[in-house]
Amino acid sequence: MSTRYVPSTVPTNPDDIPTYLQEELKRMSIAVNNLADGHIDKTHVAPAKPRDGDIRFADGTNWNPGSARGLYYYDLATTAWIKFNA
């Protein structure tokens, strides 16, 4: 499950609002719990505007920041993605 949350379109029929809200709350809960558990989605492209301290899990194929697949953080001082080493 993804850590991203994008709201669904609000229904036009007022009778559908309770079900809509229940489903949206469930989707938000999943996204928040994934973040709390430390889950990071695999990234296939470099972020367009990385910020100092951004963390990404690079797939190593479509996006390889330098040392193949793995977990990286963005260092603004060097303007580079640095791989976390185990």
Mean of all residue pLDDT scores within the chain: 94
Which residue segment(s) compose the domain that 54 sits in? 42-83
Same domain, 53 and 78: yes
Same domain, 5 and 34: yes
Same domain, 19 and 35: yes
Cβ burial of 34 (10 Å; 0-12, 13-18, 19+) is middle
Of 11, 59, 50, 4, the residue nearest 27 (C-alpha) = 4
Same domain, 35 and 49: no
Same domain, 24 and 3: yes
Same domain, 51 and 17: no
Within a 10 A sphere around the Cβ of 14, how many other Cβ atoms?
A: 7
Note the pTM of the prediction, 2 decimals: 0.74
**Distance between CA atoms of 73 and 58, rounded to whole angstroms?**
10
Of 38, 76, 72, the residue nearest 57 (C-alpha) = 72
Q: State the distance between the two ends of the chain, measured CA to CA, in whole angstroms.
A: 25
**Does 56 score more than 90 pLDDT?**
yes
Same domain, 47 and 35: no
The pLDDT, as a whole number, for residue 85 is 87
Number of domains in the chain: 2
Same domain, 25 and 48: no
pLDDT in tens, 13-44: 999 999 999 999 999 999 999 889 989 999 99
